[in-house]
Amino acid sequence: MEPQVTPVRVATYTRISTDEEHQPYSLEAQAHRLGSYIESQDQWQLVRRFTDQMTGSVLERPGLERALAEGRAKRYDLLLVYRVDRLSRSVRGLAQILDELDRAGVTFRSATEPFDTGTPAGRMMVQMLGVFAEFERATMIDRVVAGMERKAARGGWNGGLFPFGYQVDSSTGALKVHDEQALIVRQIFDLYLKKRMGSRAIAAWLNRCGHRTNYGKPWSHRTVLIVLRNRTYLGEIFFRGVHHVAPHPALVEAETFEAAQHLAEERGEDLGKRRINGSDYLLSGLIRCMHCGRRYIGAAAHGRSARYTYYTCYSRNRYGTRTCAAENLPAGRLEEAVVAALLEAYADHDLVDAAIAEARRRAADSEPHHQEELAGLESEIKRTEAGIDRYFAAFEAGTMTEKVCAPRLSALSEKLGQLQGRRAELLAMIEPEAPASIGALQLQQVRTEAERILSDGPLPQRKALLQELVAEIRVEGRDSITPVFRVPDPPVRVLDRVVGRGGLEPPTSALSARRSAS
């Protein structure tokens, strides 16, 4: 009796950078060729497909991240690409991906470059291909930049969102005046210089009048200042640190523009000369506004004899209270309250044990629902993959044209990517590592070290520690603030402790004793 051969579970990864029409190998073409390659191999079985429409110079790609996550979860045995440069166009990125695949026990193959990465010679050849891919990308960038520099020197627009007040003339490639927006640009300069209105007051006036930026968003003091500082309105084009004379009409006089620059400098509104140091605020990036969902940022106000620091909602700071009316929070008192609550939480071993037990219970309760959703997803993925295969078959047989197939294949590929992403999320929730218990002595050691750093440590170290131990701080108002703390022993779970109804007014040195675990 012959031994049973276990099929090799194969996952494919496809990628393009821009519009498929301009790619030598579209996503569908890559998928078709990979499918044919898999069929030609003995005992290979396609089980996963991952795809991205992003540059290969970065590793933060949703499809690639899902591929690596499922590789670590042992969902497939071999990752197949059409060419090595589909995986990464940088040597460092390629090496990092191959190392992660090795640690996960996953083999890597290229359908058109048959090197065995399981051998030193094969890995060397793959690295060499990565060197050539990176060189090709760098050469292309140099050529493109050189062409853009020549175009800018002639006064041409190099693409991107054009400045407010202009649009692109398709026949010449240069900017031309947008009549309605040009009136608003001139009015901004008039309000700033003649009416002596500040940038925030101008933004509020524009929003009240119903005006929106080129992005379709409300005006903010920053977008007003960008208009006031933009030399495009003098008839110039900026590219790579150089202003070039351009053929498009100027919207403001040179004297008006220079007067606006001097006034901005006097008022301290010159964005180019502002110094912003986010490290001054210990809780940067951790505070979430529960009204609009955006993060709080650090800000400061200057009185006659003192500087007052506070946290403010990004939406409110950028677009005013009409967009988000969340209250500002005094930085010093909030940071003291959060640190006190953190140390108090780590002093309560029973609370930590209760949180871990509750997390385990919730995971067990939710697993049947996740399994049910996963089963439905697997069926939907199979139907979607079968649909893609049918369109490929129809195209190959000549019964359906590319013009008809391409839109539907694109939609099905996007749907498949979303389904696979949700499946990866469910797998991570269904098979998490059990929350680890932490002993009372270990917790006390963590608390002692945290207290030492938060009391006497340098500012960067204190901020890094809080970023590690605080999951987020949810703010509904000064009287309702909920810090969410992490258990300091991975895998991470969180603890909730709620600011008492007194909140930060009047000042409190610690958070309320009321607490709950999650």
Q: Active-site positions?
A: 17
Q: What angle do CA 151, 54, 18 make, to 5 degrees?
A: 50
Q: Say which amino acid occupies 342.
A: L
Are 515 and 501 in contact by the 8 Å Cβ rule? The answer is no
Q: What are residue 499's phi and psi, to 5 degrees?
A: -65, 135
Count of other CB atoms within 10 angstroms of residue 10: 22
Q: What are residue 47's phi and psi, to 5 degrees?
A: -120, -20
Q: Distance (Å, rounded) from C-alpha 94 to C-alpha 87?
A: 7
- Enumerate long-range contacts of 269-272, CB under 8 Å, 24 or more apart: 269/198, 269/199, 269/225, 270/229, 271/222, 271/225, 271/226, 271/229, 272/229
Query: What burial letters (b/e) apply to 146-180, b meaning 16+ CB within 10 Å?
Result: eeeeebbeebbbbeeebbbbbebeeeeebbbbbee
Q: Distance (Å, rounded) from C-alpha 184 to C-alpha 165?
A: 8
Are 48 and 84 in contact by the 8 Å Cβ rule? The answer is no
Count of other CB atoms within 10 angstroms of residue 325: 13
Q: Distance (Å, rounded) from C-alpha 255 to C-alpha 237?
A: 18
Nearest Cα residue to 340 out of 513, 490, 488, 516: 513
Strands 329-330, 175-177: parallel, antiparallel or unpaired by DSSP?
unpaired
Question: Between the CA of residue 286 and those of 34, 464, 467, 502, what are the distances in Å?
Answer: 44, 12, 7, 22
